[in-house]
Structure 1
Amino acid sequence: MHHDTLLCLDIETMPDRQILPADWPAEKFPPPHCHQIVAISFVEAAIDRSSGVERYRVTECRSGGDLDYDEERLIRGFWKHFARTLPRVVTWNGRGFDLPVLRLRAMVYGVPVPAWFQTGDKWNGYTQRYQPDFNCDLMEQVADYGASQRIGLQDIADLIGLPGKIGGHGSEVADMMARGELEKVRAYCESDVLTLYAAYVRWALLTGRTDPAGHNASVDSLVECLVRERADRPHLGTFLDLWQASTRPAPMHVPIPRPALVAEPPHLPSEHVL
């Protein structure tokens, strides 16, 4: 199955106080079933294979739903969009957290998600851990499924010159929500998916899914989106400015090798011409 859409996805949550035990230690991260979703953010891009390798053309970067959406409406909207597009899903630790939470909260509201479980076959599908063309947990890919030490999204951002988190941290979401700062939560979540998309493009270059020209075109597509949206959504402009100011070796574009020159055949004297 060839996917036409790339979906770089992140969620923000806070504890479900009806489920989380009252004596749960404040410093301990709750298990997935004890979270409720407050924001679902994504970068969506069309996958173009016309050049022989993949290129990604960003169509939007946003958070799902409006500010007045409750959790059930967010969940239903996400899974409806997923079933309609059947995208290649990209996350950071999504197999360990984001996707289990999205599925468990669908169970809470009785939302069927057959497209997740029934698309593909025995070897190729969203439920297959070792099939990154359907469901790419980039954290697992970078760590070779745990053969190497797993790192955080901010670590990969620092490594390749991305701004990373802007305007908050996941541990602050509950307090931000208590203060009525949902817009701030959504902006913070969007900074994570911007980082995720750019990191995925660099990983796609590393693994041969794209080439240097495709990498740079995919980055430029995101930049165009950020420039277009920055007036109405200043956090996107902040991300872009910090990214462009990075001093890392190749924070945005990578070198494109020049084509090798083809040597002309040696000139032979006329007596050697057949």
Structure 2
Amino acid sequence: MMNPGGQMTHRLLCIDIETVPDGELVPPDWPEDKFPKLAWHRIVAISLVEARILRMAGVERYEVTACRSGGEADWDEGRLLRAFWSFLDPGHDRVATWNGRGFDLPVLRLRAMVHGIPAAAWYSAGDKWTNYSSRYSADMHCDLMDQLADHGAASRLGLDDMAHAIGLPGKVGGHGSSVARMVEDGEIEAVRAYCEADCLNLFALYVRWALLTGRTDRAGHDASMESLVACLERDRERRPHFGVFLDAWRASRRPAPFKVSAIVEGMKTLP
């Protein structure tokens, strides 16, 4: 997709973050069951699925090149943020999130502000109508939850709900509510693995949405899913959560957890 500046988006980044309350900002009397304000979230993991955007015969397909977390397990928040905002290639990267406009990106920007880190990449590309902050254009930032809810006209679904609906494993290795305890117990690698699994779900959901909206076709959808499977197979021995995700995905009995071509080709044409 060509953005208004004449640049072609060439990389898809499916991004998710994990946070814990910033103990220096959250008031002592703040109720434990009340969600902290966005600036009060300290980032402990930034994960992504990275894929090349390929264009063939007017449609896209997505070739996965990596699923990983930024930096190393012992990096502090400031170092994670500096690396993330340096990594984003404004105008050339398309960002996909789940509730990213409501949480992930505001937190990434606000915490960059706390640390005095520039996030100019988010503001420097596009025009008034198509840019990373635009709610109604999915060309540079696609908040998939908001897109599927028709920008609030329909009920919003959780990532886990929609993942299960199309045959994906959903949450693997934890839940957002357990991240703080995991960090306290020194299980940051487990947090990073959990965050990466959310990115895997997000990528597959994005591919299915791309088919739904005509950005890709059946062949492109299936090739993109095969690319994700290849990534998981390649690294499953070294990164066991990949194998857990892939095995659960393969066990799905939903109508089309992996491919859609065979199902569509077998359907009868309506009169």
Superposition TM-score tier, normalisation by shorter sequence: over 0.9
- Which of 116, 139, 143 lines up with 1:110 in the alignment? 116
Q: 1:160 matched to which residue of 2?
A: 166
Runs of 4+ in structure 1 off by over 3 angstroms are 83-86
Q: Distance in 2 between matches of 1:110 and 1:243?
A: 41
Q: Is the 8 A contact 2:18 2:45 kept in 1?
A: yes
Matched, 1:202 2:216: no
**How many residues were matched structurally?**
258
Equivalent pair of 2:90/2:125 in contact (CA under 8 Å): no
Please state if 1:4 is matched with 2:6. Answer: no
TM-score of the pair, normalised by structure 1: 0.92
How far 1:85 sits from its partner (Å)?
Answer: 7.5
Q: Which residue does 1:47 correspond to in 2?
A: 53
- How many angstroms does 1:84 deviate by? 6.6
Q: Which amino acid aligns with 1:97?
A: F
The equivalences for 1:81-230 within 5 A come to 81-83=87-89, 86-230=92-236
Task: Give, in whole Å, the separation in 2 of the partners of 1:175 and 1:205.
Answer: 38
Does the 8 Å CA contact 2:90/2:124 hold for their aligned counterparts? no
Residues 5 and 85, structure 1, Cα contact 8 Å, conserved in 2: no
Give the percent of matched residue pairs that are identical in Structure 1 and Structure 2.
Answer: 62
Q: How far is the alpha carbon of 1:189 from its aligned partner?
A: 0.4
Q: Which has the larger radius of gyration?
A: 1
Deviates most, 105-114 or 208-217 = 105-114
Q: Which runs of 5+ in 1 are unaligned?
A: 259-274
Residue number among 231, 237, 243 corresponding to 2:243 in the alignment: 237
SS in 2 for 1:83: coil
SS of aligned partner of 2:242: helix
Q: How far does the alpha carbon of each residue in 1:128-174 deviate from its partner, in whole angstroms, 9 at most, with x for none?
A: 11111111000001100010000100110111010010110111111
1:226-262 alpha-carbon deviations (Å, 9 max, x no partner): 000101000001100000110000011102556xxxx
Residue 59 of structure 2: SS of its match in structure 1?
Answer: coil
> RMSD of the alignment, in Å?
1.1
What aligned pairs does 1:6-85 form with structure 2 within 5 A after superposition?
6-83=12-89
Give the Cα separation in 2 of the matches to 1:165 and 1:144. Answer: 24
